[in-house]
Amino acid sequence: MYPSLAIAWVEADVLNLPFEDNQFDAATMGYGLRNVTDIPRCLKELHRVLKIGAKAAILDFHRPTDSTARAFQQWYLGNLVVPIAEQLGLKEEYAYISPSLDRFPTGKKQVEIALKVGFTAATHYPIANGMMGVLVVNKA
């Protein structure tokens, strides 16, 4: 039988996590890295709280490099997502996505930042024709 495990949900600033160094075996982030004010600082803080040998996986939207996929994404966001969100009274919550994608580093740049802040390995996996991607980082 497995021991009872408890999960405690903690709301915190990802740029200043309230945890000791080397506390976690793994970490995930979904659609968050694109929204932080300082991506290198966020990754450095994530590195700090992970144990040696730990991994993290970070999923987010991306601007595709393929021009057809990029055009589709812009059309989809501008003509479907934002208008539907506006009808639901949620325009602000969705209208920022497209401009945020223009500022978000490419997968290659994310890997460079991750390695620069101390991760020993970093790989970016594009998914959905490059409209999303997963950055996987390792701390050794």
* Cβ count within 10 A of residue 7: 5
Q: What is the mean pLDDT of residues 38-62?
A: 98
Q: Is the pLDDT of residue 3 over 90?
A: no
pTM: 0.89
Which CATH architecture best describes the domain 24-62+104-138?
3-Layer(aba) Sandwich (3.40)
What is the Cα–Cα distance from 130 to 66, expressed in whole angstroms? 8
Average pLDDT, the chain: 95
Q: What is the mean pLDDT of residues 102-107?
A: 94
Amino acid at 53: G
- Average confidence (pLDDT) over 35-41: 96
Backbone angles phi, psi at 91, to 5 degrees: -55, -50
Q: Which helix (H) or strand (E) holds 121?
A: strand 121-127
Chain mean position to CA 77: 19
Decide if 60 contacts 31 (C-beta within 8 A).
Answer: yes
41/10 Cα distance (integer angstroms) = 19
